[in-house]
Structure 1
Amino acid sequence: MTGERAGKVHEAALDYEGVADAVDRITRNVARAVTGKRDSIELAVVAMLAGGHVLVEDVPGVGKTLLARSLSRCMEAEFRRIQFTPDLLPGDVTGLNVYGRGRSAFEFWPGPVFANMVLADEINRASPKTQSALLEAMGEGAVTVDGETRPLPQPFCVIATQNPVEQAGTYTLPHAELDRFMIKMNLGYPDAASEVELLRLSRDSVSGLSPVIGLEEFGHIMRLVREVSVSETVLRFVVGVTSATRGHEDATLGASPRASRMLLAAAKSRAAVRGRADCLPEDVAALAPSVLAHRILPARRRAVDPGGAESIVRDALDSARATP
């Protein structure tokens, strides 16, 4: 290796060590408010750094909204919260053109989606028509109103929360919208020690958090994530996993090519978060359940099994590992 090449590698290694340090600062800061959920916090940050969106599903009261609010406090970024309700309209999300009498012309009033971080709270309480208002924003980073497309601020991330679909007053998210979320996760109930610590905290624990990373630094880390090295072996492993879900006997619908791209992006982000400049198969395997399970439709005989999709992903991982 030439001296110039060695210098570049050493510089890159230092950069990725800085990524790991920055994510650790974010995680420790958020953990002051969201106690006992360090793994969930890191998972959300991994998705954000990969340019993805996060869906947090769980029963009421376990800290879904708290997680999103706490993450937003760690960044010097514009934050908006949208409370999804049955009477919410698409224009309430994207914005609309309003006629101004004084100017005798229509003026665009941007909706709350025009922010760096958007909390879509209880997204499955809104009608499917309103839910679909986020599709273009999440997929293209822009919204179209009355034929005019307007770009959204960058970086742009949606953190959506939802109660389980069996809860009263909820709508099932369409598969097309689920596919826009890079990661879906559950928080679960805290352990006893974490819940005791939660009781010690002030009621508004988020207000005590301060920013630990600026928008410019966050953007720099996102660029480093995109530059993480990926070998042919890792690429084939990703495709092997997603392909195995499509041919699984218990899957009516397997993971799409978009799922392959998101799994790879998330795996690269995980590698960077751990201070590495190269992505490994272990990064793919660690994130596959969170990235793929919500994109898979189990066969009817498995639909009643809450872990059916996760089981299909585990089988797909085993199949990909066994393939030379």
Structure 2
Amino acid sequence: MSDRRLEIDGVSKRYGETVALREMTFDVRAGELFGFVGSNGAGKTTTMRIVLGVLAGDAGAVRWDGEPITLETRRLIGYMPEERGLYPRMKVGEQLTYLARLHGMAAPAARRAAERWTERLGVAGRRDDEVQKLSLGNQQRVQLAAALVHDPRILVLDEPFSGLDPVAVDVMSEVLREKAGEGVPVVFSSHQLDLVQRLCDRVGIVRSGQMVACGTVDELRAGGAVRLVVDVPQAPPDWTGALPGVRVLGHEGSRTELELGAGADDQAVLKAALATGPVHEFARRRPSLTELFRSVVSEGEQR
């Protein structure tokens, strides 16, 4: 049975004494948008380079459709490197046609693909300009076109939204959704966690070269610490007193946001709130992906 997934299975990588990746494991399924997030130096780019064959892992395997990735398989991947990889003095249209031909497309088909993607990404009017003469945002659009021009079966994008204005972010998001809709597995890294939360089917959080959390946004948020928002207009600022396991995150007017640690009792919080007078709101609030990410990263720093 065909298993059209990109699998990263137990991939490790060292540079001398520095461990860049430690048994990195996750998969990206057909038609899925997978957000790959972590602090700078967490191992995201190293993982992507190993998928592409730019680097070799010390252990583990990368598979596509259940088979080890080969040089021929890698021609099916659309890759967008973080440091970008365009020829600055080459004209946009010529460059995209050239890159499409490197992936095996015939010249007429390569030219048509270059025209289609520059049109789609809003840089058709710059086809005859050298890349170095474009704004950084337009260079970013051309770089995405370079990843798409050969009709890839897999997309691996390193910080594709970096430096884009809101309109370009919307265009990029729409294109990635379209490719996923065609059954392409799409993995991208980004520090814009609100965008990842909105766009992705699943998210993997990387810390110190390891995958420390992976799942849908809802699954990850459900696994975070319980937070409560309590509106107690007559309560003093220290109304939570010495409630065990309860941490005050902040106040906004009469509303207090609390985080409940292990063993904390939300009913004890409610009882303490009612003791101050009327309670206008008592609700659980799920952490955003950004808050969850901060929690996961800070947890690692404290160890």
The interval holding the TM-score normalised by the smaller chain is: 0.3 to 0.5
Please say which structure displays the higher CA radius of gyration. 2
Between structures 1 and 2, the one with greater strand share? 2
State the TM-score, normalizing by the size of structure 1: 0.35
Between structures 1 and 2, the one with greater helix share? 1
